[in-house]
Chain A
Amino acid sequence: MGNYTAQELTSIFAMQGFAGISLFSVLLLMALGLAIIFGQMGVINMAHGEFMALGAYTTYFLSTLTESFFPGFMPYYFFFAIIAAFFVAGIVGYFTEFILIRHLYKRPLDTLLATWGLSLIMQQIFRSTFGAREVSPALPDWLMGSYMPNDTIFIPINGMFVLGLTTLVTAGVYYLMFRSSWGLNVRATTQNRVMSGAVGINTKRVDRMTFALGTGIAGIAGAAFTTIASTGPTSGSQYIVDTFMVVVFGGTASLFGTIASAFSIAQAQSILEFFISGSMAKVITLLTVVIILMMKPEGLFSSKVRK
């Protein structure tokens, strides 16, 4: 690791660690949504990245709207943008399930093809609406800048904000899925659809709401994404493979596994990036994950259910 002193190494690890936290947050938010859609429903949603982009574009749209009509509202709009991103992506997801996904539950591999087609269409819609160039919303001033505990460490405030947002959403998902009666319905439907229907659960409605929740969380991921990078029509598709990796690596039905796997993948990549090139950092991270998955196919933390 070169000629770094212990002091410098600590600073490097701390700063790259905090840089990794932004990546971790976006990956985790994406993976939470996908873990619900893929882990619970078995749908391979290749358009998940486009739902993230939809959330990001919603944020951009609201920021442009606020800037031109209510400039005084700029410091606060971001909170509403997060909520709007959730609902816009969620509603589009709701109709996607109704029009497309519900016909394919018995053919999981075909959901992959159909949602890939959907992702192409959504990308083209973004391109036609917002242009091929990448866009960034004007962020409120309080999100800018960084906190400096000493001379060598800078901690960006937007990273901390996104981390807080992610924590909130994760807690919300945990509550919804494991502590609410709605979550009980979702898990029951996953385990035995016919029996759930027999005891009076409206399984079709559960499917639609579950899919909508998953895509809605992807929308929140999109709002968070705008604080760390600019959004283009294909921004979402760049994250889709990594997100699937996070979900599979963590073990599909485990919330804790998803968090641990998002954290380790994001941090490994971010810290390695400082010492070797970004592309090699990605290669080494993904290769390690693939090799671990080949030895332990059920992922890091598999829930103990029979197949």
Chain B
Amino acid sequence: MSMNFVYERFLGGRNGAIGLGILAVLILIVFPSILDTFRLNLVGKYLTYAFAAVSLVLLWGYGGILSLGQGIFFGLGGYGMAMFLKLEASSPENTSIQTTPGIPDFMDWNQITELPWFWVPFESFAFTILAIFVIPALLAYIIGYAMFKRRVGGVYFAIITQVIAVILTVLIVGQQGLTGGINGVTDLRTLNGWDIRSDSAKNLLYFINAFLLLGVIMVSKFILTSKFGRLLLAMKDKEDRVRFSGYDVSNFKIFIFCVSAVIAAIGGAMFTLQVGFMSPSFVGVVPSIEMVIFAAVGGRMSLIGVVYGTLLVNYGRTAFSETFPELWLFLMGGLFIAVVLFFPNGIAGIFNKYVSKIPFLNRFYEDPEKSAIEAKKTADNHDEESTAEGVKS
């Protein structure tokens, strides 16, 4: 793999490399040096939502498939990690005052005397890590296979994924003894003996999370700059033409849905590690739509823009709900409407529109729209040439 390949495909050329570089400096150097551990942990929590927003850039921005169920996968990743941590925190010594020592406290409160079968494998760390990747991917595969093979898409897909999010939430809340119910899985302490509640652990987890996010963005960039990425965009614009060209559209859709599920699940797992609990309020309809909002505000076509979108909306929520809780809902509602009506490409769209007009800065900046137009021109010329050749022969 040559350096140039990495530069063009994982970073996305000059624009992508500069954008990713600025983001990396911000989250790896600026935030850790100006924020105390509490605030840094808060930013870390926001950045876990950014995984879900990035997953929506792939699925919604490029694939044109709106999932209102990213909370499902965020939750599956988060609960997977939480189950492992909870079992570690519920050792027989720690829980000796319970009627049945060695099982999580909420099970004991609900008169459950034996660890349920689906909790048992989560005693293994290796299985837990595997499950965080495999279970969301598997569920996404089943949903995607059932829907896309029958050419269900668009609005119906959005509604069905939303209903699945409702089902999962009601199930978690209703089965309190098995899942911890509405309170979720709380009081998580150690990861393989390492106390995740200490300040040093919180700082380290922040960096692990930040590096993972940058890695996920690079992998996503790689997917989008590949032939598959082009097909994805073509599918969004003219699905039938791609199908008539001989591609199996549904398989591409299933694949990108699975990828987006895994990305959201990584975010969920990191959320649990940094925040120290997981609850159904991060699984259902509202968090799932909020993830879409993060992506919409940041710019649904920009892998880096959505990170800023996520940070901005969450910072706004924290800042406003502390001081003017009533104003916040008006502001949030108004923001959705404004973004949809006036800035369909979000922060990234505003940036692309205006940064090219700033002197000096624009020297480092290639306008993606302009380069797209140029690429199209080259392609058109090529088309004309080939038609001309066709006429000759």
Q: How large is the interface on B (under 10, 10 to 19, 20 to 34, 35 or more residues)?
A: 35 or more
Q: Please tell me if A245 contacts chain B, counting CB pairs below 8 Å.
A: yes
Give the interface segment out of B72-80, B111-119, B128-136, B152-160: B152-160
Q: How close is B179's CB to chain A, nearest CB, in angstroms?
A: 11
| Chain A residues whose C-beta falls within 8 Å of the C-beta of B335 in the assembled complex | 117
How far is A112 from B156 in the complex, measured between Cα atoms in Å? Answer: 12
CB pair B66 A117 closer than 8 Å? no
How far is A290 from B170 in the complex, measured between Cα atoms in Å? Answer: 15
| Chain B residues whose C-beta falls within 8 Å of the C-beta of A301 in the assembled complex | none
How far is A289 from B159 in the complex, measured between Cα atoms in Å? Answer: 12
CB pair B162 A103 closer than 8 Å? no
CB pair A117 B336 closer than 8 Å? yes
| Chain A residues whose C-beta falls within 8 Å of the C-beta of B150 in the assembled complex | 294, 297
| Chain B residues whose C-beta falls within 8 Å of the C-beta of A46 in the assembled complex | 289
The closest CB in chain A to the CB of B165 belongs to A241
CB pair B166 A124 closer than 8 Å? no
The closest CB in chain B to the CB of A46 belongs to B289
The closest CB in chain A to the CB of B142 belongs to A294
Give the interface segment out of B34-42, B337-345, B380-388: B337-345
CB pair B333 A121 closer than 8 Å? yes
CB pair B155 A109 closer than 8 Å? yes
Candidates B158, B330, B339; contact of A112 at CB < 8 Å? B158
CB pair A248 B340 closer than 8 Å? no
Q: How close is A130's CB to chain B, nearest CB, in angstroms?
A: 14
How far is A244 from B68 in the complex, measured between Cα atoms in Å? Answer: 13
How far is A185 from B170 in the complex, measured between Cα atoms in Å? Answer: 42
Candidates A100, A116, A120, A280; contact of B174 at CB < 8 Å? A280
Q: Please tell me if B242 contacts chain A, counting CB pairs below 8 Å.
A: no
Given A108-B155, A241-B285, do A123 and B336 touch, yes or no (CB 8 Å)? no
| Chain A residues whose C-beta falls within 8 Å of the C-beta of B329 in the assembled complex | 120-121, 123-124
**Residues 310-342 of chain B, each 1 if its beta carbon lies under 8 Å from chain A, else 0:** 000000000000000010011011111101110
Given A44-B158, A100-B341, A108-B154, do A114 and B336 touch, yes or no (CB 8 Å)? yes
Q: Please tell me if A128 contacts chain B, counting CB pairs below 8 Å.
A: yes
CB pair B156 A110 closer than 8 Å? no
Considering residues A117, A283, A286, which has the most beta carbons from chain B within 10 angstroms of its beta carbon?
A117
- Secondary structure class of chain A's binding surface, majority of residues: helix
Within 8 A of A (CB), among B279-295: 285, 289, 292-293
| Chain B residues whose C-beta falls within 8 Å of the C-beta of A22 in the assembled complex | none
The closest CB in chain A to the CB of B162 belongs to A241
Within 8 A of B (CB), among A113-154: 113-114, 116-121, 123-124, 127-128
| Chain A residues whose C-beta falls within 8 Å of the C-beta of B340 in the assembled complex | 104, 107, 110, 113-114, 117
Q: How close is A30's CB to chain B, nearest CB, in angstroms?
A: 15
Q: Please tell me if B350 contacts chain A, counting CB pairs below 8 Å.
A: no
Q: Please tell me if A287 contacts chain B, counting CB pairs below 8 Å.
A: yes
Q: Please tell me if B146 contacts chain A, counting CB pairs below 8 Å.
A: yes
Q: Please tell me if B167 contacts chain A, counting CB pairs below 8 Å.
A: yes
- Secondary structure class of chain B's binding surface, majority of residues: helix
Q: How close is A213's CB to chain B, nearest CB, in angstroms?
A: 21
The closest CB in chain A to the CB of B65 belongs to A109
Q: Please tell me if B163 contacts chain A, counting CB pairs below 8 Å.
A: yes
CB pair A128 B147 closer than 8 Å? no
The closest CB in chain A to the CB of B297 belongs to A113
Q: Please tell me if B26 contacts chain A, counting CB pairs below 8 Å.
A: no
Q: How close is A50's CB to chain B, nearest CB, in angstroms?
A: 11
Q: Please tell me if A279 contacts chain B, counting CB pairs below 8 Å.
A: yes
Within 8 A of A (CB), among B159-209: 159-160, 162-164, 166-167, 170-171, 173-174
CB pair A118 B164 closer than 8 Å? no
| Chain B residues whose C-beta falls within 8 Å of the C-beta of A117 in the assembled complex | 332-337, 340
Within 8 A of B (CB), among A268-289: 277, 279-280, 282-283, 286-287, 289
Candidates A44, A103, A279, A290; contact of B164 at CB < 8 Å? A290
| Chain A residues whose C-beta falls within 8 Å of the C-beta of B52 in the assembled complex | none
Q: Please tell me if A209 contacts chain B, counting CB pairs below 8 Å.
A: no
Candidates A103, A109, A113; contact of B339 at CB < 8 Å? A113
The closest CB in chain A to the CB of B173 belongs to A279
The closest CB in chain B to the CB of A124 belongs to B329
Q: Please tell me if B262 contacts chain A, counting CB pairs below 8 Å.
A: no
Q: How close is A307's CB to chain B, nearest CB, in angstroms?
A: 9
Q: Which 4 residue pairs are nearest across A and B when measured between Cβ atoms?
A: A117-B336, A279-B174, A120-B333, A121-B333
Q: Which residues of A contact B (CB under 8 A)?
A: 38, 42, 44, 46, 100, 103-104, 107-110, 112-114, 116-121, 123-124, 127-128, 241, 244-245, 248, 277, 279-280, 282-283, 286-287, 289-290, 293-295, 297
Q: Which residues of B contact A (CB under 8 A)?
A: 66, 68, 146-147, 150-152, 154-156, 158-160, 162-164, 166-167, 170-171, 173-174, 285, 289, 292-293, 296, 326, 329-330, 332-337, 339-341, 344
What 12 new A-B contacts, CB under 8 Å, besides A107-B344, A108-B154? A113-B293, A114-B336, A114-B341, A117-B340, A121-B329, A244-B159, A245-B159, A280-B174, A282-B170, A286-B170, A290-B167, A297-B147
